[in-house]
Amino acid sequence: MEWETVIGLEVHAQLKTRSKIFSGAPTAYGAAANTQANVVDAALPGVLPVLNGEAVRMAARLGLAIGATVHKRSVFARKNYFYPDLPKGYQISQYEHPIVERGQLTITTASGEKIIGITRAHLEEDAGKSLHEDMGGFTGIDLNRAGTPLLEIVSEPDMRSAAEAVAYLKTLHTLVRYLEICDGNMQEGSFRCDANVSVRPLGETRLGTRAELKNINSFRFVERAIEYEVRRQIALLSSGGQVRQETRLYDSVRDETRSMRSKEEANDYRYFPDPDLPTLLLTEAFLAEVKDAMPELPDAKRRRFGAQYGLSLYDAGVLTASRELAQYYEEAVMAAGGEPKLVANWVAGELAARLNEEGLDIVSAKVTAQALAGLVRRVADGTVSGKMAKDVFEAMWAGEGDADAIIAARGLRQISDDSAIEEVVKQVIAANPKQLAQYQAGEEKVFTFFVGQTMKASRGKANPAKVNEILKRLLTP
C-alpha cells in the first residue's frame, strides 16, 4: 500500500523583548539561576501581570507579515496544570481568541513552491527549567525563563514530507529574524518545534491518528525525527496495529522517538479567560504603525534579487537567508560597481565556506563587503585569475591587507600579455617533444598536460584563457 505523510508544526518563538511578558524582570539568556525571576514570575500571592506592549507589537508584526488577520480583540486565558517549573499552577496563554489567525507562508522545495497555511499565532508565557541531574534525588527549579514571551505559531497539517517540514521551518526561521522578533537561536531554545505527524493510505481524505513529537532542536533532527516516526507508524499500521495519540520524545543519540505520556489523560487544561487580564484591544492606528515599520520581507527580497541582479531564485534564496547576509551582498555589489553574479559566487562560495568552517556569522566576517568588492574588481578586470583570487582571499581573511596590496606584495599579477605567454608556451613545447608528437598524432587529451606545464612554468600567473588559445595555435602543425 502507498502511504501519505501528513505533518503540522507548532513553533514556539521566544520574542526578543528586554523584559518578560507580564513582569519587569530581564530576559537575558544564561544568567545565574533565579536571578532573573521576580515576585510575579515566582507567583507570590497578590501579584498581578501587566502585559508588555512590545510583545504585542511583535505578534502583530508576524501576523501582518504572513497575511493573517490580526484581531483587534484577543483574550488571555489560563491553561491549568501543575508542574513545578510553573509556580502559578497555570500558564497564561491565549485560547479561543488568539491575536493572530489564518495566515500563510510560501515554501520552496526541490519540487517547487507550495503555500502552507498558518492556523493561528498566540501570545503566551514560557515556563522555567527543571534540572534533574545531581540534585540528590530532588528536582532543581530555575525560574529565569518563566515569563519569557513566546509566540506559538501553529501551521495547518499541510506538509506531506519531512523535507517540506524543514523548508517551512527554515522559511519561518528566516522570517522571524527578518522581523527582528526572535533571535532564532535553536541551541538556546529561542526557536523550538513540535511536530504533529500522521500517515494515511494515499487517496484517503480523513486524517490518521497523530503523534506529537517534542524536543526537536535542530533542522536536521526535525527531518530525522519525522522520518523515523513515519517509518514507525507505517510499520505499525501495515502489521495490523494502531497508532496511539500520544506525545513522543525524539532521542537524537539513538535516532528514535519514544512515548512520553498518553495525551488523553494529560489533556485537561480547563482553560478559562484570565480574570487578571482584561481584553486586549488593538486600534487601527496601532496596526498602521506596525505596518509602516515593516522591513522588506525575505520572499520579496529574494524575488527582487533575482530580477535586479539576474540571479537564479535558488542563489537569491541563499543570499537572502538572513537580512545581514543580504545587506553584505548588496554593499559588495555597490562597492564593486556591478558584477552581481561574480559577487554572488564569492559570497555564496568562498566566503560562506570560510564562515561555516570557523562557525562565524556574516557580521563577524573577517573580509568586509568593501574588501571583497576590491578583490572582485581585480577578478573582473583580469588582473588575477579565479584560482589566484582564492589565495588572495585567504590572505585577506588572515588580515594581510586589501586585495591590491596582497596582489602587489606577492607578485600575483596575472600575465595576460600575448607575447609573454607565447614565450613560455614555446619553451614548454620545446621541452616535451614526445607529448607534442602524441598530440599531433591525434591524442587530444595530451592538451591538458601542456596547459598544466605552461601554468606551472608561469607559476600560475598566466591567464588560463589565453594559455588555451595560444597552445591551440602553436600545437597545430
Partner 1 sequence: MNAEEVERVAHLARLGLNQEERGAYAQDLSRILDLVSQMNAVATDGVEPMTHPDEAGLRLRPDAVSGEIDRNRLLAIAPKTRDGLYLVPKVIE
Give the nearer residue to partner 1 in terms of CB position, either 56 or 436: 56
The residue type found at 201 is: P
Contacts by 246-250, CB closer than 8 A, 24 or more apart:
246/211, 246/212, 247/211, 247/212, 247/214, 248/211, 248/212, 248/213, 248/214, 249/213, 249/214, 249/215, 250/213, 250/214, 250/215, 250/216, 250/221, 250/224, 250/225
- Residue pointed to by grid coordinates 583570487: 389
Which residues make beta-bridge pairs with 195? 9, 213
Q: Least distance to partner 1 from the beta carbon of 402, Å?
A: 42
Q: Least distance to partner 1 from the beta carbon of 254, Å?
A: 17
CA 229 to chain centre: 23
Roughly what angle, to the nearest 10 degrees, separates helices 446-457 and 418-431?
A: 120
Contact 21, 148 (CB under 8 A): yes
- Residue pointed to by grid coordinates 529574494: 302
Give the nearer residue to partner 1 in terms of CB position, either 67 or 89: 89
Give the nearer residue to partner 1 in terms of CB position, either 42 or 318: 42
Give the nearer residue to partner 1 in terms of CB position, either 38 or 383: 38
Q: Least distance to partner 1 from the beta carbon of 283, Å?
A: 9
In whole angstroms, give the CA distance from residue 461 to residue 214: 56
Give the nearer residue to partner 1 in terms of CB position, either 44 or 398: 44
Give the nearer residue to partner 1 in terms of CB position, either 76 or 329: 76
Q: Nearest to residue 422, comparing CAs of 459, 469, 389, 376?
A: 469
Identify the sign of the CA torsion 463, 466, 470, 473: positive
Q: Least distance to partner 1 from the beta carbon of 142, Å?
A: 6
Which residues make beta-bridge pairs with 3? 201
In whole angstroms, give the CA distance from residue 377 to residue 389: 11
Q: Least distance to partner 1 from the beta carbon of 122, Å?
A: 15
Q: Least distance to partner 1 from the beta carbon of 253, Å?
A: 17
Give the nearer residue to partner 1 in terms of CB position, either 85 or 394: 85
Name the site residues for partner 1 (rule: CB under 8 A).
17-19, 23-26, 32-39, 42, 44, 50-56, 75, 80, 82-84, 97, 130-132, 135-143, 249, 260-261, 268, 270, 273, 275, 277-281
Q: Least distance to partner 1 from the beta carbon of 141, Å?
A: 4
Q: Least distance to partner 1 from the beta carbon of 156, Å?
A: 26
Q: Least distance to partner 1 from the beta carbon of 36, Å?
A: 7
Give the nearer residue to partner 1 in terms of CB position, either 37 or 455: 37
Contact 179, 185 (CB under 8 A): no
In whole angstroms, give the CA distance from residue 458 to residue 425: 9
Give the nearer residue to partner 1 in terms of CB position, either 150 or 392: 150
Q: Nearest to residue 225, comparing CAs of 202, 199, 258?
A: 258
